[in-house]
Amino acid sequence: MTLQLSLLTTSKANEKFKYYQKKVWFNKSESFFYRTAKPQTMDEGKSYPLLVFFHGAGGRGEDNKKQLLDAGGLESFEKNKLRTKHQSHIFAGQVPHGKKWVNVSWSIFGHKMPKISDSMQMAFEALDAYIQDPKNQVDSKRIYVMGLSMGGYGTWDAIQRRPDFFAAAVPICGGGDKSLAPKLVDIPIWAWHGDKDSVITPSRSRDMINAISNAGGSPKYSEIKGRGHNSWVDCWNSDKLWKWLYSQSKD
């Protein structure tokens, strides 16, 4: 029975994967695996939003697949009809084994933004190329970013490096550089964290939210009572979150 359920789950995932094209970005001697999906229907002359997804540690590898399976990301995107109802592009890169989106320890209570990681650098390069391709019809005013755990750090890192690029951000159980909070006051942010998280302390999210608020911003924050290191479950299941995210625009 367990094997049958496993095969059924794999079959369903593979069916949904057909919408997410495998791609590789080359940078000198480095390569970066990523997947992209387009809106189900696209009309000539229109432009469409794009969601950048930063996976957690469980999505690392070289298979160009685990990044979407990590923490149920693919299931959530399909369940919440990102490609259909929200007519959204999706961009999901994959960090190799042993690497990170941000080269900092996850156990510390704060950090200064380090040199950009190879994975983040190549993600930006591949993302820029995708957006600049006129065939993709990406709306540059509606580029969103979200990520969990290791990818929560990646989300904070991305908006700190490109504060004028993203229309909204959803960092889930991550952490950023508090000193850069003034750069983030104009970005719509909705952070998530479990108050019982023992992997990444919730103070990492609290500190970022407080720093941005003190700098004049108005970020949103959901700290889930009784939740450990899986607050993405609450994020995935929040209709309000998805409606809020896709209502954001830089203009």
Which residue numbers in the chain have pLDDT < 50?
Answer: 1-9
Give the C-alpha separation, 116 to 122, whole Å: 10
pLDDT of residue 96: 97
- Residues 76-120 have pLDDT tens digits of 999 999 999 999 999 999 999 999 999 999 999 999 999 999 999
**Phi and psi, residue 54, nearest 5°:** -105, 115
At residue 56, the 3 state secondary structure works out as coil
Give the C-alpha separation, 232 to 82, whole Å: 16
Please spell the DSSP secondary structure of 123-139, one letter per residue: HHHHHHHHHH-GGG-EE
The two tokens of residue 215 are 């700098």
176's enclosing H/E stretch is none
pLDDT of residue 12: 64
**Domain locations in the chain?**
24-38+48-102+112-247
| Reported pTM | 0.94
Residues 6+ apart with CB under 8 A from 57: 149, 150
Handedness of CA 28, 143, 234, 80 (dihedral sign): negative
CATH code: domain 24-38+48-102+112-247 is: 3.40.50.1820
Distance of CA 95 to the CA centre of its chain: 13
Name the H helices within 66-183: 66-69, 73-79, 118-132, 150-161
Give the C-alpha separation, 92 to 90, whole Å: 7
pLDDT of residue 10: 55
